[in-house]
Amino acid sequence: MALESPEPGAGDYEQYKDGFHDWLATYWPEPREQLHAGGWRRTEQMLADIKRHLQAHHQPHAGAATTAGPSATASSAAAAAPASGTGAPPPLGRPLEVMDICCGEGGTAVHLAATEGWRVTGVDIVESAVKAARVRAEAYGTVVRVACQYPCSGAGSSSSRSSAADSGSSSSSGVRLRLSYEAVSDRALFLHASIFKMPAPSDSFDVVYGQDPDGLANPDRVHAFREVLRVLRPGGLFYFWHHWVPGPGWPAELLAAYRADPMTGPAPRLSHEEYVQDVQAAGFQLVHVADCSQLAAEHLGAMAERVAREQQQQQQQQQQQQQRAQRAAKSAAAAAGAGAGAGARGGQSVAREGDEGRSAAREGGEGGEGGEGWTAMPISGWLERALHYSAQAGGSMGVHVVAVKPLSA
C-alpha cells in the first residue's frame, strides 16, 4: 500500500535501480567510472577548488594534531606535502573525512582515497553501483605513503603504489623516513543509501561533494541538503554541480514549458534559482554560485553525437533485418508452392522459416533497453528536447554551488 505522505525522497528508490548505470554508460561520453559531466578534467578542477578552500579556511578541530611532527600520520603529512604553492591544506593530524553523495560506481572516491590519502565515504541509492565501487576499491590494492622528517624538522612526503603490506621506518644521515601501507578499501567506504537518509553520524565530515548528484533532482531536495548539513562538521565545505538543470535567468514561460514537457521536466522545482534557494533554506552559507552551461553544453553535445551514431546503427540493423525477413517470407512462399502436394513435412518447414522471420523482426523492433530492474527511457527524445530548450534559453543549463556549514549551526 502506498504511503499517504511518503518520506521525502522515498520515490527515488523506485526510479533508480540496478541496471541504471549500464543504461547511462551506453550514452555517456566520459569513462564509466566518471558518470558526470566533464569527467576527470572536472574532478581535477574540484580537487583544486577544495584544496584552495581548505588552505584558506582551515580551522584545526578539537583533538586533532596541527603540525606534521614525529607523531603525525603519514597521510596527514601527505595532505600537506606539496607545501610550495599548490594550495594543499595544512595537516589535520588525521585523514580528511570526505563524503561523495550519489557516488555512482566510485571512480572519484577511490581515486581521492588513493592519491590524497583522504577517507572518502560514497553514498549511492543503487546497490549494484555500490558493489561495483567496493570492487574497484579492493582492486586498487595498497598504497605506500612515505613521510620524510629532516633533522631541522621540515616535513615532506611522496606516495607510490605497491602490493606490499608492511610498515616501518628507516634512518640515514639524520633523515627519518616513515612508511605506512594502506589498503585503499580501508579509505574508500561505500554505503547503499539515499542522500535523504544517510547512515552517517552528525558533524563527522570535513567536506561533502557531489558530481551530478541526481538525487537532487527531487523537488524535496531541501531535505537532502539538511542531511548534508547534518553530517558536515561546523565550518565544513559542500561542493556540487548538476548539469541538466535549467540555468540562471530562464524566462518563466520557458521554464514552465520545460517542466510541463513529460520528456524533460518530470521533476518540479528544477531550476538553478530553486537549487540555490534550497541550499540556503537548509542552513548553508553560500560561498560561490556559478552557471555551468559551458560544461553542460560540451557534455550534452558529446552525448547527442553518441545518440545520433547509435540511431544510425539501429536504422542500418533494422534495414538488414527487414531484408532478411523479406527473404525468409519469399522462400517460405516458394516452399509452400513447391510443397503443396508434399504433406506435413513441407508444413513444418514453412513454420520454421516463418519463426525466423518473426524473431528477426523482434530483434529489430526493440532497442535501447537497460539491464534488469531499470526501465529504459527514450534518451534520444529527452536529449533533443533538452537541447532545444537550453538553446532557446541561450544555452544556460546547469548549477554549481559551493557552500559552508556555519560554525554556529
Ligand X SMILES: C[S@@+](CC[C@H](N)C(=O)[O-])C[C@H]1O[C@@H](n2cnc3c(N)ncnc32)[C@H](O)[C@@H]1O
Regarding 214 and contact with ligand X (CB under 6 A), the answer is yes
Contacting range for ligand X; rule: CB under 6 A; set: 169-177, 183-191, 208-216, 232-240: 208-216
Q: Closer to ligand X at the Cβ: 185 or 194?
A: 194
We find the least distance from the C-beta atom of residue 372 to ligand X, in angstroms, to be 15
Confirm or reject binding of residue 370 to ligand X (CB under 6 A). no
Question: Quick one: which of 19, 213, 236, 370 contacts ligand X (CB under 6 A)?
Answer: 213
Q: Is 194 in the site for ligand X (CB under 6 A)?
A: yes
Question: Considering only residues 92, 102, 130, 200, which one is a binding residue for ligand X as defined by CB under 6 A?
Answer: 102
Q: Which of 195, 232, 387, 404 binds ligand X (CB under 6 A)?
A: 195
Task: Please compute, for residue 386, the number of CA atoms within 13 A of its CA located in the half-sphere on the CB side.
Answer: 26
Question: Does 129 contact ligand X by CB under 6 A?
Answer: yes
35 binds ligand X (CB under 6 A): yes
Q: What is the DSSP string of 51-96?
A: HHHHHHH--PPTT---S--TTS-HHHHHHH--TTTS-PPPP-SSPP
Chain position carrying cell 543549463: 397
Cell of 12: 527515488
Among 94, 92, 85, 81, smallest CA distance to 57 is for 92
Residue 43 · residue 211 · CB < 8 Å: yes
User: What is the per-residue binding string for ligand X in 7-26, x denoting contact by CB under 6 A?
Assistant: --x--x---x---x------
Q: Considering beta carbons, is residue 23 or 258 the nearer one to ligand X?
A: 23
* Strand duo 397-404 + 232-246: pairing: antiparallel
Would you tell me the crossing angle of helices 221-231 and 272-281 to the nearest 10 degrees?
A: 40
The type of residue at 159 is S
User: Which of residues 215 and 248 has its CB atom nearest to ligand X in the complex?
Assistant: 215
Give the interface segment with ligand X, choosing from 32-40, 57-65, 139-147, 313-321 (CB under 6 A).
32-40
Tell me the closest approach of the beta carbon of residue 72 to ligand X, in angstroms: 32
Q: Which residues contact 239 (CB under 8 A, 6 or more apart)?
A: 46, 49, 50, 207, 208, 209, 210, 401, 402
Binding residue for ligand X, selected from 149, 211, 264, 293, defined by CB under 6 A: 211
Binding footprint of ligand X, residue count (CB under 6 A): 24
Which cell numbers hold the place of 195? Answer: 542522500
In the set 19, 95, 215, 246, which binds ligand X (CB under 6 A)? 215
- For residue 170, what is its C-alpha cell? 628507516
Residue 125 interacts with ligand X (CB under 6 A)?
Answer: yes
Separation between Cα atoms, residue 395 and residue 388, nearest integer Å: 9
Instruction: List the one residue from 68, 110, 123, 403 that touches ligand X (CB under 6 A).
Output: 123
Q: Is 397 in the site for ligand X (CB under 6 A)?
A: no
CA angle 194, 200, 202 (to 5 degrees): 120
- Is residue 227 close enough to count as binding ligand X by CB under 6 A? no
212 binds ligand X (CB under 6 A): yes
Say if CB 323 and CB 356 are below 8 A apart.
no
Query: Contact positions toward ligand X, by CB under 6 A?
Result: 9, 12, 16, 20, 34-36, 102-104, 107, 123-126, 129, 194-196, 211-215
